[in-house]
Structure 1
Amino acid sequence: MQKEIDMKCLTYSTASGYRLASVYTFLHKKEKNVQRFSDVVFYQSDTQFVYIFAFGAVVFWGQDSNQSLSFIKSIEQFADEPTTQFEIDEFFYEVGTKTVIDEIGNTIILENDTDAFYKLSLSYALGQSIKLASHEKDLKSTIDKMAFIPRTLAKTGKTSLKRNEIAKKMGELYLQKSSINSNLNVMHTPRVIWDHSEIEPHYHMAADFLDLHSRVESLNMGLTMIQDLLEILEDQLNHKHSSMLEWIIIVLIFVEVVLFIAKDLLKA
């Protein structure tokens, strides 16, 4: 049992992001082998490796869930929009002759079990994957909540949503798109991976296995469909508002004409 715990890789989506400068300062007081780059802070302690990513994911090698959750709690003060409803994934890992991920056995085969940069290449893809899983869950929830809108439009030709509700939902979509396409940056090789070309093939292997690119495209497609729907609703409300203004103008002109005629009649 202890061996299984030691040979487990746990990944968590814990927040919208981490302030890495503060995380680094906090960890550097307790750990010796702490390193910081623009989008990741990581350290090695004996056989344990921990990677904290700016986009709000944490990856652990060689820790059990209690240790991992305790660590996440300790850095929560440096998190932006932390959540208690973590997305979690786990793999077992073992040492072999070639770096691969075995889908059937849910196992990562490592060529090297001691190099922090080598594990960083895999951890980066694993962190992006668990963060995408969180976005996928949010998208499904959004679609479920908004499923009534097209049905209502099909039946009645109008919606009960107000202008400020539509604006809020469009703002939420923009933030989610920004998080996926800018913060995660899945469609490009991360800078820290690019700067260490010897580990780049391992990152791409893991990214391909985890299907990162097509998942981002699928998320963007879903978000775009929701955005198109909201834009249709916004256009409908704008048209309704314009029609109302036209009727107000017509009524005012009518009132003005009536008053003009009444004034002439009174003079007569």
Structure 2
Amino acid sequence: MSRYFVVYKYGSVVFFNMGRRERDECLKLARSFTKTPIAVPCTDDYRVMVRPGMEGWAEFAADHVVLKRLDLNNISVIGTVLAQTVALEHHELKVDNMIEIFSGLNKTTEETGEMDISKARLFKLVAENNNTLTELVTRMRLLGRSDTAWQYSQYDKVWSGLRADFELEERFDHLDYKLNLIQTQSKFYLEILQNRKSDTLEWIIIVLISMEICVSLYDMYSKLG
């Protein structure tokens, strides 16, 4: 059976019928083209069985799919779904980490009444949150549809079946809810920072006015003296 090595622009790599040594060599090659390789990447295994004599085009089981033929179109469809599911897992872990950060921040704010996070750190979290949603929708095309599945009904069955098996739509909805939650909390703390800035400006204005009054009083005293 032929072997395939498929690389996706959002960082996922999918192997078909390749041994451990070959996979390691291909990963080494792929990492040479990345700026910041992930130290511990997310991985998943999925069996693809080929049965030329079967009546239908594809049959799905709990942990594998049986195909009538493994052609390049099936490689494209299966590879895309597998690439999306591991990339989605990576973003799920990132978002869960952001949730933990805000959970700790909320607890500290509740106990002390103070916001224990720097402006730069908060801005980075906001940017990371925005970039995550952009990555999911535009680069990964998680809500889109495979061109192959769009054109051919038999490949659409494979596409739809795999997406259902890996619960991509449900996982995206859950992740989108978390991203909106982070966005709401970020807005709250950004407003606090803005209010702090406004308070600082008000105090600066008060000090300047006080200094101007003092100077005026000094001038008046000097003239009277």
TM-score by length of 1: 0.75
Q: Distance in 1 between matches of 2:110 and 2:91?
A: 28
Q: CA deviation at 1:212?
A: 0.8
SS of 2:73 mapped into structure 1: helix
**Corresponding position of 1:170:** 126
Which AA in structure 2 matches 1:70?
E
Q: Distance in 2 between matches of 1:145 and 1:73?
A: 33
Q: Distance in 2 between matches of 1:190 and 1:47?
A: 23
- After TM superposition, the structure 1 = structure 2 runs for residues 1-268 of structure 1, keeping only pairs within 5 Å, are 46-96=1-51, 97=54, 98=56, 99-103=58-62, 106-113=63-70, 115-268=71-224
**Corresponding position of 1:24:** none
Call closer, same or farther: CA 1:79–1:226 in 2, change over 3 Å. Answer: same
Q: Distance in 2 between matches of 1:227 and 1:191?
A: 33
Unaligned runs of 5+ in 1: 1-45
Call closer, same or farther: CA 1:52–1:192 in 2, change over 3 Å. Answer: farther
SS of 2:204 mapped into structure 1: helix
SS of 2:45 mapped into structure 1: strand
SS of 1:78 mapped into structure 2: coil
Q: Distance in 2 between matches of 1:201 and 1:101?
A: 10
Which AA in structure 1 matches 2:67?
L
CA contact (8 A) 2:98 2:125 kept: no
CA contact (8 A) 1:49 1:116 kept: no
Q: CA deviation at 1:245?
A: 0.9
**Corresponding position of 1:43:** none
Query: What percent of counterpart residues are identical?
Result: 20
Q: CA deviation at 1:73?
A: 1.1
Q: Distance in 1 between matches of 2:20 and 2:92?
A: 23
Q: CA deviation at 1:238?
A: 0.7
Segment of structure 1 superposing worse, 154-163 or 239-248: 154-163
Q: Distance in 1 between matches of 2:160 and 2:136?
A: 18
Q: CA deviation at 1:83?
A: 1.9
Q: CA deviation at 1:61?
A: 1.8
CA contact (8 A) 2:81 2:159 kept: yes
Q: Distance in 2 between matches of 1:92 and 1:203?
A: 15
Segment of structure 1 superposing worse, 92-101 or 162-171: 92-101
TM-score by length of 2: 0.88
CA contact (8 A) 1:94 1:108 kept: yes
Segment of structure 1 superposing worse, 220-229 or 196-205: 196-205
**Runs in 1 of length 4+ with deviation above 6 angstroms?**
none
Q: CA deviation at 1:192?
A: 4.4
Q: Distance in 2 between matches of 1:55 and 1:200?
A: 23
Question: How many equivalent residue pairs?
Answer: 220
Q: Distance in 2 between matches of 1:109 and 1:125?
A: 16
Unaligned runs of 5+ in 2: none
Segment of structure 1 superposing worse, 228-237 or 258-267: 258-267
Call closer, same or farther: CA 1:126–1:73 in 2, change over 3 Å. Answer: same
CA contact (8 A) 1:50 1:60 kept: yes
Q: CA deviation at 1:84?
A: 3.3
Q: Distance in 1 between matches of 2:141 and 2:123?
A: 26
